[in-house]
Amino acid sequence: MNKLRITSITSVAVMLLSLTGLAISPAGAAVDRTGKTCVQEGRVVNSGGVTYTCAYTKSGLVYSQGRKLSGSLTVVCGAMENWCAAMTKAFTKKTGVETKFVRLSSGETVARLNAAKANPEFGVWHGGPADGFGVARLDGLIEKYESPTRHMIPAKYQDTDGYWTGVYVGALGFCSNKKELARLGVPVPKSWADLLNPKLKGQISSAHPSTSGTAFTTLWTQVTRLGGVEPGMAYMKKLHNNILQYTKSGTAPGQIAGRGEVAVGIIFSHDCVAYREQGLPLTVSFPSEGTGYEIGGVALVKGAKNPEAAKAYIDFTLSAEAQNLGPTVASYQVLTNPRAKLDRRMVTLKKLTIVDYDFGKASAAKKALTTRFDAEIAVAPKV
Amino acid sequence: MKLDLITRIVLVCTIAVLALLIIFPLTNILITATHENGRAVFSSIFSSPVTRQIIKNTVLLGSTVGVLGTLIGFLLAYAQTRLEFRGKKILHIISLIPLISPPFAFATAVIVLFGRSGIITRDLLGLSPVLYGYPGLVIVLTTSFFPVAYMNLLGMMRSLDPSLDEAAASLGSSKSKVFVKITFPMLIPGIASSFLLLFVESIADLANPLVIGGDFTVLSSRAYIAINGEYDVAAGAAYSVVLLVPGLLVFLLQRYWAQRKNVVSVTGKPSGRVRNIESKGAKFFLLSIPFAMSSLIIMVYVTVLIGGFVKVLGVNNEFTLDHFSYIFSGIGNDAIIKTTLLALIATPIAGILGMILAWLIVRKIRRGRELMDFLGMLGIAVPGTVLGIGYAVTFNHTTKLGEFSLIPQLAGGGAIFGGALAIIMVYTIRSSPAGQRSGIAALQQIDPAIDEASASLGASGVVTFKKVTLPLIRGALLTGLMFAFARSMTTLSPIIFITTPDTPIMTSKILSEVDAGRFGNAFAFCTILIVLVSLAMSAINLLVRGRSIESLSNPLN
Amino acid sequence: MATNSLISIAEGDSKVRASDSSRLQLSNLSKEFGQDPDRTVAVDNINLTIEPGEFITLLGPSGCGKTTTLRMIAGFENPTFGSILLDNQDISKLTPDRRPMGMVFQSYALFPHMSVYENVAYGLKIKKLPAKQIEQEVGFVLATMSLEFLANRAPNQLSGGQQQRVALARAMVMRPKVLLFDEPLSNLDAKLRSQMRIEIRQLQQRLGITSIFVTHDQDEAMSISDRIVVMRNARIEQVGEPAEIYRHPKTVFVADFIGRSNFLTVEKIQSKTKSGKIAIKVLGKNMEVDAHEDAVTASNPVLLIRPESIRIKRSHSKNQEASGTQGRVLNVVFYGAHVEYEIETEKGNLVAVVSDPKHDEIVPVGQMAEFSFDENRAWLLPSGD
């Protein structure tokens, strides 16, 4: 009787203890996972309030040094609104760090980072273009951060000095309105040479290279594929005859083509796909002679308020898990993480002819080229 | 006149407010403009044909919109006050609609209707005009801004003493002579101020030159390019400084005109009755343009409205409610509420600030009134982009004077109220100039003896303002308030630089939707914005109208 | 001031009034506008004392500085130099709202958004008088001005004369120490104007408020004032009672501005006769006339003869030349009550006004006329400007 009672008390106590143990185990995170073997490279996990990144080291695939994250993080985001929202939301969900974003173009971002240099309001710049990062680096606005998982990303899609890492790639393409092309009796353009068809006079829309990174990519692509500034400019001059007008925004040519104002817009193919998905009668094609591309990257803002969270965020953006969010929110850029899922709406870079695009050279030449473009081409009469 | 103590205090406070809202941030940006790249821009005015062309374009655009907008505004005001016809009230309301033109919506609707593959141009008329550039900008900007001129002139023509016309007519002048010799000269201050306002507004506009400007580069879009495409804030600031020059010139010109014809027509109250024009031919002629204009406005806004309810306007016109449900499902709610709230806070501040400025300028200060007027107008004379950067540079950190912190951080994510204060400040300084202009036009028509009478009856300057001046310029105040609200709700370019995650703003959401090609969402957003502003305008109208016995120059009567 | 109500003042005896009225002194008052080299002097060193209860008129052509003087008194302009003393207290530093002055404007300046009643009550409300008292005082003033039946009208529903009455009532109800009038009657028609003059004068005398009235209309000045201040080119030309100004003007300008004048050049014979007059020779006749003191020493004085002082009769001389007191009638206008002649004399043209003329005595145009005047009604004054 007595014995029985003791047994039952003990068992209740044990039960209670084990329950308590179960209850506290996630919070207490008694187990530090740092250095423990993990499975999927790049994956960011949160265990017991500590965030780990799964990365390759000498001892194989292991969890990095855990980060105990708290507070909040503000991201300045250069991509589409939903994309930014999806990324930050996923990070918040994963780590508990309240992550908000402001969507700004790259020029605005640089201006604003400059304005608040002493007291930066952002922690991470996500979705900025390579040339934007270049300027920000010169102005001392971003800080070197070499994510332990950056080796997953092909070297050509990241800064050799570790200031930024690419998260997506967009290839330049032709965004054509099928109806308008049919009306004009012109086939879908398949080459840069096709764009010079006299039937397309006033039927091509491109942005202006000094206002739009997209249009500068177009210009530098010509310089690269034709082997020099002079032949490149000569092509742009010929193309000028068929251009309706140069728009300010890089994506506008796609919309103008979509509305039938012109037959062809020269934009990044993923933007064209997005417009097509919205219901505009557009089709994407690529030039056979070779095309250029842009890289969207991520970088750590210098003097970020919550650097640990910012770094964890950067690790996260490189993971396949984060990058896979793109197509779910109508962003169809090519993803830089080789493990990320392919979407049928994304272009397969391997199937395209890509020019050997040198971002460093391109940025260095930008000012001189756009000034020449302004003075020699944009004002020239159309023949 | 000797300024009494309270008036002096008001003067000092107003100057302090202007210093905080515009002078301080602008000085910072001016300093920026004198950096190396900025100086290069200044010298390029003389050396570079490209820059010179941009300046020419800017002046051309401003003048065209100024002249056309004032003309249309004048014809509409004339029709309202001097003609009797059916649909007068409706015409009036339609004429006010463009006050609420969210960036992008108007331009896009015009392209959908009148573009190369426009519903009307190609489908109906078989034409394919190219609107991008000068013609498109003139159409869009004139249509967007003419209500400024309309309201200005309407208030003025309502308060013109018809007995003057009668007197002239009784002396044997014909109707057209009466108009040329009597009515028109009396309206010159209003016409001049309308032109100025339209000129400045159109050259400072950014959204439209970006959407529909095409090759036609103006200073505001050039400044934007410098900052956004070339990462060169100094050059951007320098272009904006250049942008201030034509604005300043027109401003001085207007001053000269207004001073030469200093017309006071409200001495007591208008007496007599307006004699309406009866001739059918004249009526037809005078009404043709107003009705053409209102048809255009209706078409454009119906297009915007429909755009929110179809899949892709002009491409796939299938009915859908997806756009609205997308906005209300979360992404837009916060922006709608916060934008409206901030605009509602800024509106009375801007309205009152504008009126106080007008009052000080016309009635109280003698020396330096030109300067004061100019400072007050800077809020719209300065391109939004530059203002935004000025705010970012100035208010993104605590301003310290030695050890003492003078101004706390007002802008950016780390600021108090999540940076909302800076947005209210921008709204205020962007929208008070409209109130200031209409206030000045109204005050110039009121006999200064009315103020003096009040003073000699023992009222201090401020009491006079409250009890006499304000009720008399209620119409102008109303105009100012409505303007302030509409403008705040539709302001985009300065906001970009100071929005924070805590202050989502509708216009920047609209831009995102356009960027993403989700035109339906953008149109739906615009429709919501238009509805909100119309509601607020009606509310303001009721509120202000309800409080007084009768009105002198209430444009909404 | 607030202790005595307007009602009690109006009904009180005249002694109380006099002691309650105020004296206004302008000393070395000057106003300059603009800066060198475009500086203009609008008012140049004016000295003037306005006695309690006095009605004084500032008269002069436009631009003479009369309105600027009035506006300085009201406080709408700051004097460049000088001071304004009200009952020996300098008020020139006070803002308009703190000066106990009432002003009636040329344009009436009624508040268009207020009814007649509200217009009149405005100042009292600002003084925060009890509602009951306001009602009483306004009611009284409106009654005095026969405006009761218009109390609820808007200003634009009133005639010009009614508007002017409201403006006056609005100023009066404040019981100002000084009432200022800035050409208040110039927008009214002739008949209404003379009627309002009388009304203003009667009311002012009844209340005994020191008043300053600005006008360019000499008839108005003559009919309404205790004293007239004639101004010219920013200065005071002469101060005096209407009759004094009319009969004994100090200068040709004053003589010419007030009424109509004939000026004859004279030859001086003796500067001071026993009777204190000056002996002169004019038109071939010797006579003794009253003279302004400056005329005594002046080298070439002129003789002022008012047109109504000249008598006319038909000349029976065979001499058809204008000489001595004979002249040719150039023009005759018959006004009923009087006839106006223009006569060519050897000393220039003369204007003569003959009252109550008999028809057969009127000298027709072209005829020679003999003219004469009473030397007691002539006035010798220095000619120079």
Instruction: Say which residues have a Cβ less than 8 Å from residue B539's Cβ, sequence separation at least 6.
Output: none
Q: State the pLDDT at residue B110.
A: 86
Residue with tokens 């200005």: B152
Highest mean pLDDT: which of A87-101, B166-180, B478-492, C16-30? A87-101
| Residue B71, pLDDT above cutoff 60 | yes
How would you label A192-206 residue by residue, b for 16+ Cβ within 10 Å and e otherwise? Answer: bebbbbeebebbbbb
> Which subunits sit against B, judged by 3+ Cβ pairs under 8 A?
A, C
Are the Cβ atoms of A261 and B117 closer than 8 angstroms? yes
DSSP state of C96: G
Q: pLDDT band at C5, cuts 50/70/90?
A: low
Pairing of β A204-207 and β A243-247: parallel
Is it the case that residue B226 has pLDDT exceeding 60? Answer: yes
Predicted confidence at residue B247, as pLDDT, reads 65
Q: Inform me whether the C-beta atom of residue B37 falls under 8 Å from chain C C-beta atoms.
A: no
List the 247-266 stretch of B: residues with Cβ below 8 A of C: 266
- Per residue in A235-266, pLDDT tens? 999 999 999 888 877 888 998 899 888 999 99
**Is the pLDDT score of A285 beyond 90?**
yes
* pLDDT confidence bin for C145, thresholds 50/70/90: confident
B8 touches chain C (CB under 8 A): no
Cβ neighbours of A247 in B, within 8 Å: 132, 214
Selected for mutation to probe chain A from B215, B399, B416 (highest A CB count within 10 Å) is: B215
pTM greater than the 0.80 cutoff:
no
Q: Which residue of B has its CA nearest to C92?
A: B2
Chains that touch A (3 or more CB pairs under 8 A): B
Cα B12 from chain centroid (whole Å)? 26
User: B457 and C126 in contact by Cβ < 8 A?
Assistant: yes
Which residues in chain B touch residue A246, judged by CB atoms under 8 angstroms apart?
Answer: 214-215
- Looking at residues A34-42, what average pLDDT do you find? 85
Nearest Cβ partner for A116 among B50, B111, B397: B397
Residues of A with Cβ-Cβ distance to B209 under 8 angstroms: 248
* Whole-number pLDDT of residue A8: 52
Q: A12 pLDDT band (50/70/90 cuts)? A: low
Span C80-108, average pLDDT: 90
Residues in chain B closer than 8 A to C102 (CB atoms): 456-457
Name the band, by pLDDT with cuts 50, 70 and 90, for residue B63: very high
Residues B163-190: b if buried by 16+ CB within 10 A, e if exposed: ebbbebbeeebebeebbeebbeebbbbb
pLDDT band at residue B155 under the 50/70/90 scheme: confident
Residue B490 confidence class, pLDDT cut points 50, 70, 90: confident
For residue C33, the chain B residue with the least C-alpha distance is: B366
pLDDT digits (tens, 9 = 90+) for B187-210: 777 788 788 878 888 888 888 888
B5-266+279-546 classified as CATH 3.30.450.40: no
Please report the pLDDT score of residue C367 as a whole number: 87
Record: contact C156-B269, CB cut-off 8 A: yes
What integer is the mean pLDDT of A91-109? 88
Q: Read off the amino acid at residue A66.
A: G
In the predicted model, what is the mean pLDDT of residues B26-43?
82
Q: Do B268 and C113 touch (CB under 8 A)?
A: no
Average pLDDT score, chain C: 86
Q: Which residues are CB-neighbours of B453 under 8 A, at least 6 positions away?
A: C103, C105, C109, C110, C111, C167, C170
Of B4, B267, B548, the CB nearest to C95: B4
Banded model confidence at residue B179, pLDDT cuts 50, 70, 90: low
Q: Which residue has the higher pLDDT, B241 or B182?
A: B241
Percent of chain B with pLDDT strictly greater than 90: 9
Give tens-digit pLDDT for B288-312.
888 888 898 999 889 888 988 988 8
Q: Do chains A and C touch (3 or more CB pairs under 8 A)?
A: no
Instruction: Count how many pairs of residues, chain A against chain B, have C-beta atoms within 8 Å.
Output: 161
DSSP B461-513: HHHHIIIIIHHHTHHHHHHHHHHHHHHHHH--TTGGGT--TT---HHHHHHHH
Q: Sorting pLDDT into bands at 50, 70 and 90, what band is A267?
A: very high
The minimal CB distance from B548 to the residues C113, C156, C180 is found for C113
Which of A110, A118, A202 is the closest to B397 by Cβ?
A118
**Mean local confidence (pLDDT), A174-181:** 93
Number of H helices, E strands in chain C: 11, 21
Give mean pLDDT, residues C226-253.
Answer: 93
Cβ atoms of C254 and C306 within 8 Å: the answer is no
Query: Could you tell me the two tokens for A292?
Result: 């250029």
pLDDT tens figures, A293-320: 999 999 999 999 899 999 999 999 999 9
- Chain C within 8 Å of B466 (Cβ-Cβ)? no
DSSP-assigned beta bridge partners for residue A248: none
Q: pLDDT category, A40, cuts 50, 70, 90?
A: confident
Tell me the shortest Cα–Cα distance from B70 to chain A, in angstroms. 29
pLDDT digits (tens, 9 = 90+) for B47-57: 888 888 888 99
Give the pLDDT confidence score for residue A362 in this predicted structure.
87
Closest Cα in chain C, distance from residue B458 (Å): 4
Please state whether beta strands C302-305 and C262-265 pair in parallel, antiparallel, or not at all (unpaired): antiparallel
pLDDT of residue C210: 93
The per-residue pLDDT for B255 is 61
Chain A residues inside the 8 Å CB shell of B499: 102
Contact at CB, B456 and C155, closer than 8 angstroms: no
Using a threshold of 3 CB pairs under 8 A, tell whether chains C and B touch.
Answer: yes
Q: In this structure, are residues C365 and C331 in contact, taking their beta carbons and an 8 Å threshold? A: yes
In this prediction, residue C12 has a pLDDT band, given cuts at 50, 70 and 90, of very low
Residue B341 and residue B333 in contact, taking contact as beta carbons nearer than 8 Å: no
C119: contact with B, CB 8 A cutoff: no
Predicted confidence band of residue B266 (pLDDT cuts 50, 70, 90): very low
For residue C272, the SS3 value is coil
Query: What is chain A's length?
Result: 383
- Contact flag B449-C106 (C-beta cutoff 8 Å): yes
Looking at beta carbons, which residues of chain B come within 8 Å of A81? 331, 509, 512-513, 515-516
Task: Provide the number of CB pairs (under 8 Å) joining chain B to chain C.
Answer: 114
Q: How confident is the model at residue A32 (pLDDT cuts 50, 70, 90)?
A: confident
CA atoms within 13 A on the CB side of B440: 32
Are B452 and C174 an interchain contact pair (Cβ–Cβ within 8 Å)?
Answer: no
Helix A229-240 to helix A213-226 angle (10° resolution) is 120
Chain C within 8 Å of B457 (Cβ-Cβ)?
Answer: yes
* Distances C268 to A325, B222, C287, C291, C381 between C-alpha atoms, Å: 119, 88, 10, 12, 12
Contact A86, A268 (CB under 8 A): no
Q: Position A173: which residue type? A: G
Least confident interval from A74-78, B282-286, B503-507, C129-133 = B282-286
* Residues from chain A contacting residue B412 (CB–CB below 8 Å): 116, 119, 121
Look at B214 and A244 and tell me if their CB atoms are within 8 Å: yes
Task: Express each pLDDT in B306-356 by its tens digit.
Answer: 988 988 877 778 888 888 888 887 667 888 888 999 999 998 899 889 988
* pLDDT > 80? residue B230: no
> Which residues is A268 bridged to in the sheet?
A172
**Residue B25: is its pLDDT beyond 80?**
yes
Q: Which of residues 48-77 of C touch B (CB under 8 A)?
A: 74-77
Q: What subunits touch chain C, counting only 3 or more CB pairs under 8 A? A: B
| C155: closest CA of chain B, how far (Å) | 7
Do B450 and C170 make contact, defined as CB atoms within 8 angstroms?
no
Q: What is the pLDDT of residue B178?
A: 65
**Which domains does chain A show, CATH number per domain?**
50-169+294-346 (3.40.190.10), 171-293+351-378 (3.40.190.10)
| A22 pLDDT higher than 50 | no
Residues of B in contact with C93 (CB under 8 A): 2
Give how far B546 is from chain A: nearest CA, Å: 42
Q: Residue B5 pLDDT more than 90?
A: no
Q: What is the pLDDT of residue C82?
A: 92
**Average pLDDT of the segment spanning A268-279:** 89
Q: Do B3 and C180 touch (CB under 8 A)?
A: no
Q: Which two tokens stand for residue C232?
A: 């010219």
pLDDT recorded at residue A208:
87
The string of pLDDT tens digits covering residues B369-390 is 778 888 888 887 777 777 887 8
Look at the block and give the residue holding tokens 């409610």. Answer: B321
Q: Which residues on B lie below 8 Å from A213 (Cβ)?
A: 229
pLDDT of residue A211: 77
* Predicted confidence (pLDDT) at residue B552 exceeds the cutoff of 60: no
Higher pLDDT, C119 or A34: C119
Q: Are A104 and A84 in contact (CB under 8 A)?
A: no
Q: pLDDT averaged over chain A?
A: 86
How do beta strands A204-207 and A142-143 pair? unpaired
Q: What is the pLDDT of residue C1?
A: 40
Mean pLDDT of C101-108: 88
Cβ contact B215:A378 at 8 Å: yes
Closest chain B C-alpha to A310 CA, distance in angstroms: 16
B459 to chain C, any CB pair closer than 8 A? The answer is: yes
Q: Which of A118, A124, A117 is nearest to A102 (CA)?
A: A124
Nearest-CB residue to C155 (from B268, B459, B461): B268
Select, from the ranges A16-20, B134-138, B232-236, B460-464, the one with the highest average predicted confidence (pLDDT): B134-138
Polymer length in residues for chain C? 385
Across the interface, which of C77, C123, C180 has its CB nearest the CB of B458? C123
Q: Residue B78 above 50 pLDDT? A: yes
Q: How far is B441 from chain C (nearest CA, A)?
A: 18
